[in-house]
Chain A
Amino acid sequence: KNEVEQSPQNLTAQEGEFITINCSYSVGISALHWLQQHPGGGIVSLFMLSSGKKKHGRLIATINIQEKHSSLHITASHPRDSAVYICAADFRNRDDKIIFGKGTRLHILP
């Protein structure tokens, strides 16, 4: 069965802290997505990666295929980073599905 687990479920941190959100998945995937869900509900795609590391501004995503694990890091966190971050495992090369994690609710305090 395809499963995606995220941790932590909730995270509160002070502005400026380095944030790490973890994602593990149970079987081989073609890619892994990191998404940000706004307080209003809209979803934005942050990264799609199948190996290594990607960086965009203060956001860094890494994936270890052998360990079936990915992390999303936020450097110098800011209150505007407060959102739900969702990891999604992409099986679209097999059965056209993406399996979503339950999300990590991040709250950055000023």
Chain B
Amino acid sequence: EPEVTQTPSHQVTQMGQEVILRCVPISNHLYFYWYRQILGQKVEFLVSFYNNEISEKSEIFDDQFSVERPDGSNFTLKIRSTKLEDSAMYFCASGRLARTGELFFGEGSRLTVL
């Protein structure tokens, strides 16, 4: 069964460092999303991406964040200069064709900023 894969599963970084989280969505999906979950809190929307551009982003997704689909298969989330409060589980999700439809989630990447 096709699945969304995320790497790394866990990354520890120093404050101020750049981090790239990678996602490989399901191959025929066209809509891509990043969400995050700070420990003990609910999952929050970060950004949606379609047709090689951001279609919606939340107030959390500030200038420190960027997303890219560099090669038609990977979908990356970059945090330019990490802060302590960026420590969270980051989930990638993808959906087929329309803006409605089932979402498929990756297993998540746990980011720890020291």
Contacts and interface: CB of A to CB of B under 8 A. Distances in A.
Q: A and B bound?
A: yes
A96 interface: yes
Interface in A33-67: 33, 35, 40-45, 48, 50
A12 interface: no
A55 to B, nearest CB: 16
Contacts, number: 62
A32 B42 CA distance: 16
A102 B100 contact: no
A92 B105 contact: no
A103 B44 CA distance: 12
A90 B100 contact: yes
Contacts of B31: 92
B45 A99 contact: yes
